[in-house]
């Protein structure tokens, strides 16, 4: 092999490698950001019963409220890839994950109520029943 062919080969190899890196980095999204600190809910919260029946009306209400208040960060499918998520340095979580499936309704309700910076609190903005309906809607994201 002469030196020109050799050089061409190594140039091609470098370009292939660079293209691979670009592909990998373009797949990086909100979910790859570091998770926030552990956020365990108190025992009494975990045990809270959802007083709002998960019927079509509640899920529809939850969906509308989610689109208005949550989607910008948590994304249309709850994957944590909303438009605002790009500007947040920690992960917004993934509502389709096994972790969220394991969390009780009370836990999701409590986190929605209190928030934790940069996640806002919805205590004042939404009524109790509205927050429970959002929890009912969040269940539809489960894989
Ligand atoms: C400004 C962006 C933003 C908005 C708007 C927002 N969140 Fe969040 N949310 C976050 C971030 C960031 C976290 C992770 C917080 C942490 O780990 O400290 C989070 C975490 C959560 C969690 C806990 C996730 C888990 O995996 O345990 C729940 C539940 C949640 N949000 C529900 C909601 C709901 C419901 C709404 C709308 C009513 C909402 N959020 C609106 C940014 C947002």
CATH T-level topology, domain 34-141: Cytochrome Bc1 Complex; Chain D, domain 2 (1.10.760)
Given a contact cutoff of 8 angstroms between Cβ atoms, the answer to whether 49 and 136 are in contact is no
Average pLDDT value over all residues in the chain: 89
Tell me the Ramachandran region of residue 115: left when phi exceeds 0, alpha when psi lies from -120 to 50, beta otherwise: left
Cα-flanking dihedrals φ and ψ of residue 59, to 5°? Answer: -65, -35
Measured by CA distance, the residue closest to atom 18 of ligand 1 is: 36
**What are the tens digits of pLDDT across the range 10-55?**
767 766 655 554 544 444 454 589 999 999 999 999 999 999 999 9
Q: Where are the domains of the chain?
A: 1-32, 34-141
Question: Which atom of ligand 1 has the smallest separation from the CA of 70?
Answer: 37
**CA of 128 relative to ligand 1 center, distance in Å:** 17
Render pLDDT for 123-138 as a digit per residue (tens, 0 to 9). 999 999 999 999 999 9
């Amino acid at each position: 092999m002469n030196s020109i062919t050799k050089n061409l080969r190594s140039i091609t190899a470098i370009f292939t490698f660079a293209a691979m890196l670009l592909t990998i980095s373009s797949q990086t999204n909100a979910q790859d950001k570091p998770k926030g600190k552990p956020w365990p809910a108190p025992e009494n919260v975990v045990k809270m019963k959802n007083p709002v029946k998960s019927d079509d009306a509640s899920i529809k209400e939850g969906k509308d409220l989610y689109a208005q208040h949550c989607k910008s960060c948590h994304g249309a499918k709850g994957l944590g890839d909303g438009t605002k998520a790009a500007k947040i340095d920690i992960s917004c979580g993934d509502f389709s994950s096994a972790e969220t499936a394991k969390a009780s309704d009370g836990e999701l309700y409590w986190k929605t109520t209190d928030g934790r910076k940069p996640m806002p609190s919805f205590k004042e903005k939404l009524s109790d029943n509205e927050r429970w309906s959002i929890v009912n809607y969040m269940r539809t994201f489960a894989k």
